[in-house]
Structure 1
Amino acid sequence: MMRLIVALFGMLIASFGAFGLIRPADFVGLVRHFWATSRGAHYAAALRLALGLALLLAAADSAYPRTLTALGYLSIAGAVIILLLGHVRLAKIIEWWAQQPETAVRLWGFLALAVGIFLIAAVR
C-alpha cells in the first residue's frame, strides 16, 4: 500500500514538474496562489510529512531503500522547516523565487519531473 502511495506522490510531483517545465509563467502563478494564505503552508507541511512517512515505510520494499529513506527524512525535515518559518517568511521566499528568470523555473520543473519519475521507478 505504501508503494502505491509513493507512486501516486511521484505522479503528482512529476505532473507539477512537467507543468513548470512547459508553462513556467502559469506554474509561478499557481505557486503564488497556493502560498497566498497560511493554509497553503499547512497543506504543504502536511503533504511533506505524509510523503516522508510513506517513503520511510516503503523504503525497505523498494529498489533504492537507502535513497528513499534519506528522501523520507528530508521530506519530514522540510515539513518541520515549513512550520518553523511560518507563512510570512515563506511568502517572501516564494516571491523571491517567482522573480527568477524563466529558465530557473524550468530547471526546477525539470528537477521535480526527474524526482517524480525516480519515485515511481523506485517502487515499481
Structure 2
Amino acid sequence: MNLFVALIGGLFLTTSLAILVSPGSGRWSLENLITRGMMPVFSIVRIGIGIVFVLAAPSTRLPGFVWALGLLSIFSGIALPILGFDRLKKYTDWWLVKPDTAFRGWSLLGILLGALLLWAGT
C-alpha cells in the first residue's frame, strides 16, 4: 500500500508541476472535467484513495500526515454529492477568473504535498 501512497504523491507532484509551468492546463481541467456525470466518479475515487491512505498510514514515514489526508479525502468524497453540482460549478467558475499567479501559487502547495506523499510512501 505504501507504493500506492507514493504513486498518488507522484501524480500530485507531476500535475502540480504541469500547472506551475502552464496554468492553462489547470484551467482546461476545471472547464472540461468538472461535469455533472463526473461527480460520482470523483466521490468514489476520493473515498477509495482515503481508505487506502488510512490503511497504509501506519507503515509510512509520516503516518499522522498520511492518515489525516486519508480522512480528509474520505470526508471530501462524502461531502461532494451532498454539496451538489451547482455549488461545485460556482466554485470552479470562481477559480476560472483567478489570475495565473493564483494557479501557480496553489500548484506550489500541490508540489509540496506530492513530494511529502512520495517520500512518505517510499
Fold match (TM-score > 0.5): yes
- Cross-structure match for 1:68: 66
CA-CA distance at 1:25 after TM superposition: 1.6
Return the alpha-carbon distance in structure 2 between the equivalents of residues 34 and 104 of structure 1: 20
What letter corresponds to residue 91 of structure 1 in structure 2?
Answer: K
TM-score (norm 1): 0.91
Deviation digits for residues 20-68 of structure 1 (CA, Å, limit 9, x no counterpart):
1110022211221000x21222222122112111110110101111111
CA-CA distance at 1:79 after TM superposition: 0.8
* Sequence identity percentage: 31
- Cross-structure match for 2:55: 57
- Cross-structure match for 1:96: 94
Return the alpha-carbon distance in structure 2 between the equivalents of residues 47 and 11 of structure 1: 16
CA contact (8 A) 1:52 1:75 kept: yes
- Cross-structure match for 1:12: 11
CA contact (8 A) 1:20 1:108 kept: no
- Unaligned runs of at least 5 residues, structure 1: none
What letter corresponds to residue 11 of structure 2 in structure 1?
Answer: L
TM-score (norm 2): 0.93
- Unaligned runs of at least 5 residues, structure 2: none
Return the alpha-carbon distance in structure 2 between the equivalents of residues 39 and 12 of structure 1: 23
Equivalent of 2:84 in 74, 83, 86: 86
CA contact (8 A) 1:44 1:79 kept: yes
What letter corresponds to residue 66 of structure 2 in structure 1?
Answer: L
Return the alpha-carbon distance in structure 2 between the equivalents of residues 24 and 5 of structure 1: 27
1:42 aligns with 2:11: no
CA contact (8 A) 2:4 2:121 kept: no
